[in-house]
Structure 1
Amino acid sequence: MKFSFAKVTNSRLMGTMGLLISWEDKQDKIVQYFLLDAEGLGLADYVSLKNPTKEEAYREEERLMGGLGSDRIRISEDEALFLIKYFGNKNSYYEKPLPGEVNEYIDIIKKYETKLHIEDIYPKICKPIKDEVEFINYMTMRFIAWDRESLKYFSGSEEIANMHITNINGTLLKNTVIPKGNKRYISEALYEDNDGYYTSKIAFSIEEYEYGFKISSMIATDKEPIFDFEVFDEISKPEFVSMYSISRVDKFLDIFYRDNPFTLKSDMENGTFFTRFNFNNDHVKNNVYVINNDIKAIYYQMGNEFFVGTYSDKDRKYINKILQCNYKEYLDIKEELYFEENVLYDFVESESNDFYDFLD
């Protein structure tokens, strides 16, 4: 089939990207959707659609890319196939199975020849950064994730690229950026490693050039362990919980997910959980970065109950107005509660089937 177009999210600095490739001939059209994980999984998800309707293609694209908070950048056939080959080889390196119908793309991984290198495509898969605090947050995130590739690209230094304090690809949970003047910054990082939670201070010296910023030097202090309840206190935030009763549960869930394909859907022990992310990653620009500040709302269906968690009064009004307008034949509001810290996700994870008992 003939290459039609391809696009990728410029979300490499968040660790994950969505890649879409469209092929067609006189009779058929095939669209391939890849989730690219730069932090150890390689190709993390794969789906293809043959002759999809516009609605089907839109829904699958939003499922893949809608929650990544990034722009979608057109790329060439060579660049798209290079990304499949490059990330597919990561699966082999990390001994992770390839996803989906492997026969539909395995020849690209094994046989495709290209002169491209990952550095060549970084300007397209990384968003342009014009803010110093945002750059420090991203570099702290990449350092905690033990992302040698990105540290090398944004420093040009093998020494910096090989620095790490984590045992695996760690997760930055919270970061406070403290400016020290003359493009010097301190990151006070709280992160998760494979053996627990830790804090560390990382000092950066950066420089600005034509296309953004580079790391001139960096150094990290020894890590200090922190208890999980302390972590919860650090990243928790006030939460509004709206409670609805549902009629015709299966019909409602089908329509709700069809209308909101950009939400992350998870099947839980007692129901279905949806996460709605913001459509940008502007939370990385803040002096205090918190991992869950990119979440706009969470939804949880359990039996004939539907719970909605939001994190500002503005979002509470907006989200619930949409629900009550668009799904009024399925939803009936029962109660709205306010909590000083996150409650709903803990309830979901607890596998309890009674919200009020859980609160007690």
Structure 2
Amino acid sequence: MAVAPPTTSQNPLQLELQALKAQHPQYHVVIWATYGGSASLLPGARWIRRDTLSISTNRRNSWNFTYGTHLYDYYVIIEGKFEYHNKRMKAADYSSFVASTAGFDFGTKQSVMRPKPEFRADSWMKHLSDDLLRHGPLVLDKQLDDVLDDVKDFLEDNDREVVMVMLSFSSASAVYEAGKPWSEGYRIKYDEVPDHFNREFKKDMKKDKDLYTGKKWPRLGEVRGKVVICRGWDVDAEQDQWGLHCRLPKWEAAHGFTSNIKPSALAAHRWNELVGDFGKQDAPKSIVLAACLHHDPADEESWIPPLQTAPILQRKAEEHIRKSTKKTKHLWIYGDEMKKKTNMAIAKLNFLGSDDVDFTRPPPMTVKSAPVLLVATH
């Protein structure tokens, strides 16, 4: 998701954005809503390098492109935490697994925290400001219509920007049979998408002139001032070929792993599941370089959080891309709960596939060679 440069308001989020912009002017930096951004910022911020590029047209003149949006498609996600005021919660618990405290998953499909009544989502959501968009592409405790209205209000004032919204129907619950061992008694039950859901949803969205729900990735100029809808459910079903292809990660349940598995082994398992996606060229894909696991709901120490697996998966992806003989097309690589250094490496990975310190930027692009896809790696 991408929005305009942050305003001059001096809140902590915007100060951090401005500092990162100064350090890394060559990247677009995307901040997820877990940092507590307001609706005016949306879940992210796109920074456009403030240079004017002269691109030859081979017709005795050149075009000057200021804020070269169509030339810079580098993304990085910075992990953060909500602003909150809840006397019953400790900051350490909150910042570590704030998105995993409900009785079902929020997109990671493997983060299952031992249920604590005082840490359920509804116990701390009510303490958050109502203008917050929550947990990246998923919006909790807020109706989709209200969120889209916020986005549209933003685009009325920033009609040269494009906002990408990733939608996913998700309804799941954890089932644990106490009389059985953890590895046998635990499973996640996924609810089926109602038969009428996609049909009614598509019909309503296609009526909205401010939304883009086309089947192909648009040129940036085609969707300025619009909300680009990426749907993320039922992506392989023939009846759901609408919107942009965006495959959210589907994680396996924790059973089958022994309680003494190491982060390196979990990362290797995750890598084996996703490595094939690097070679697919048929449609844009999203790849998440993270994995987490909770072995035993009675033992808080049995967590393997994403921060332990993300750097391992990052290195594996870099090595794979360096050895690849083909360009990585149609991939959007991002991380979950990563440190700043790892995030910046992913930004380079999306660009060149390398975290080398002295990386070389490509030669100036011509009009013919400039990338035109909204989200794609090169």
TM band (smaller chain) = under 0.3
Could you state the TM-score of these two structures normalised by the residue count of structure 2? Answer: 0.23
Q: Which has the higher contact order (CA 8 A, sep 6+)?
A: 2
Could you state the TM-score of these two structures normalised by the residue count of structure 1? Answer: 0.24
